[in-house]
């Protein structure tokens, strides 16, 4: 069996991608420091797929650990999810973000280089597009960052480009995710943010369960159909499937540096998402319109043609699927 190292594999997107990889016939080895996830995810994955992924609790910044891991068994490719992802926290703790996301990625790449493992799929983000100059966002849209988190993604994207140009043999995919939401349809794995959720959908889900009282809708005076922010929400299992396609592309391609959007190509507003969640949960989601959140953009959605052309992949699930599955997970 082909072994894939999944850093951050007990996290939200990594766990769903582990399921998809196992179901596609890969052997998965997870490396995660459990800073934002729980070891119980491994049991849930085993229940879904029948196979418990191999797991090492450790940090991507631990070079000796990485060397021993690569020495112990042949790894064909690395899917690199590990990192910190909260925009507000990155403003308050920039050094932690540069250390985890940039220094951590460099440590991982150096260990891969030593082990001659040169196939990598990297979790980038639509945040690298900054405030869109035109929609839908194509991969050649100029990049910018308005916060330290976004900056770490820009820097790692650049490091990967430099590395790819410097040495033959690297096969790298930089995947720019739009807004991943939802959960596995089994309800066994999903998004489990610590503390007050930063993102819209986990917050809405917690209002539906009664853990929180009301959603604050950040602004209804944007230039969008109902005035609230518009985003390209993508079901996390569609995203996971996109990773399997990207991995297969890399394993087949000779020496490519692939950069693609993973989104649906369709934008929905905050109020659309609240209504879809009401439908899914049968609950009324109370909300207040409040002022805009600093740094937010009005609207953002992906051009999905390059992903389809290169990977033969498209997202399939609707916002109702996303909300139904998120509700199944949340209500468990
Ligand atoms: P997550 O926090 O659920 O998962 C990240 C995992 O990495 C966690 O399990 C955490 O414990 C682990 N981790 C963090 N730092 C580590 C380190 N130094 N060593 C080892 N493990 C470490 O986040 P997610 O939503 O699954 O995001 C995965 C990746 O996708 C991240 O790189 C994130 O920036 C990127 N991304 C996420 C979104 C989103 O909205 N969720 C959007 C675009 C890009
Ligand atoms: C979605 C919409 C908010 C919360 C963030 C990161 C981005 C990427 C995905 C990693 C916006 C509105 C939100 C709330 C609200 N992550 N909202 N009330 O900001 O598009 O993207 O996550 O790469 O980098 O910035 O996602 O879910 O926070 O917000 O009204 O309590 O919901 O204003 O219009 P965002 P989000």
The pLDDT assigned to 253 comes to 77
User: Is 149 a known active-site residue?
Assistant: yes
- Adjacent-strand bridge partners of 6: 30, 79
pLDDT in tens, 268-283: 999 999 999 999 999 9
List 149, 177, 222, 268, catalytic entry: 149
pLDDT in tens, 156-207: 999 999 999 999 999 999 999 999 999 999 999 999 999 999 999 999 999 9
Q: What is the mean pLDDT of the chain?
A: 97
Q: Is the CB of 180 under 6 A from ligand 1?
A: yes
Work out the pLDDT band at 101, boundaries 50, 70, 90: very high
- Adjacent-strand bridge partners of 56: 31
**Mean pLDDT on 29-56:** 98
Ligand 1 centroid distance, CA of 168 (Å)? 29
* DSSP secondary structure string for all residues of 97-109: HIIIIIIHHHHHH
Looking at the CA of 65, which ligand is closest? 1
Other beta carbons within 10 Å of 130: 17
Ligand 1 centroid distance, CA of 32 (Å)? 10
pLDDT in tens, 52-78: 999 999 999 999 999 999 999 999 999
Q: What is the rounded CA–CA span in Å between residue 16 and residue 195? A: 22
Shortest-distance atom of ligand 1 to CA 37: 9
Which CA distances in Å does 149 have to 128, 201, 258? 10, 20, 22
**Mean pLDDT on 22-40:** 98
Structural domains in the chain plus CATH codes: 3-181+233-263 (3.40.50.720)
Ligand 1 centroid distance, CA of 82 (Å)? 5
Instruction: Tell the residue nearest (CA) to atom 17 of ligand 1.
Output: 59
Percent of the chain with pLDDT over 90: 98
Q: Is the CB of 37 under 6 A from ligand 1?
A: yes
Q: Is the CB of 278 under 6 A from ligand 2?
A: no
Choose which residue among 83, 195, 229 to substitute to test ligand 2 binding: the one with the highest number of ligand atoms within 8 A of its C-beta.
229
Q: Is the CB of 53 under 6 A from ligand 1?
A: no
The pLDDT assigned to 254 comes to 75
């Amino acid at each position: 069996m082909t072994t894939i190292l999944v850093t951050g594999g007990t996290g939200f997107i990594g766990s769903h991608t582990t399921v998809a990889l196992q179901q596609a016939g890969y052997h998965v080895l997870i490396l995660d420091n459990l800073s934002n996830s729980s070891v119980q995810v491994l049991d849930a994955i085993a229940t879904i797929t029948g196979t418990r992924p191999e797991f090492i609790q450790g940090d991507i910044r631990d070079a000796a650990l990485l060397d021993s891991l690569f020495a112990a068994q042949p790894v064909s490719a690395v899917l690199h999810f590990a990192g910190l992802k909260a925009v507000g926290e990155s403003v308050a703790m920039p050094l932690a973000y540069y250390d985890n996301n940039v220094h951590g990625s460099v440590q991982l790449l150096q260990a891969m280089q030593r082990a001659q493992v040169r196939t990598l799929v990297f979790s980038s983000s639509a945040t690298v597009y900054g405030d869109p100059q035109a929609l839908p966002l194509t991969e050649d849209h100029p990049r910018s960052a308005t916060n330290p988190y976004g900056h770490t993604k820009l820097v790692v994207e650049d490091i990967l480009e430099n590395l790819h140009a410097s040495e033959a043999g690297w096969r790298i995919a930089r995947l720019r995710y739009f807004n991943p939401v939802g959960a596995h349809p089994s309800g066994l794995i999903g998004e489990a943010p610590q503390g007050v959720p930063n993102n819209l959908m986990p917050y809405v889900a917690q209002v539906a369960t009664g853990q929180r009282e009301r959603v604050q809708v950040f602004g209804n005076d944007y230039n969008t159909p109902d005035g609230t922010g518009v985003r390209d929400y993508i079901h996390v299992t569609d995203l996971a499937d996109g990773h399997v396609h990207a991995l297969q592309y890399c394993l087949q391609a000779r020496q490519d540096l692939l950069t693609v959007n993973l989104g649906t190509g369709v934008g929905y507003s905050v109020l659309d998402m609240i209504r879809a969640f009401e439908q899914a949960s049968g609950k009324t989601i109370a909300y207040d319109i409040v002022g805009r959140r600093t740094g937010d953009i009005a609207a953002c959605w992906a051009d999905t043609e390059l992903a389809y052309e290169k990977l033969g992949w498209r997202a399939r699930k609707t916002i109702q699927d996303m909300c139904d599955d998120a509700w199944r997970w949340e209500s468990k």
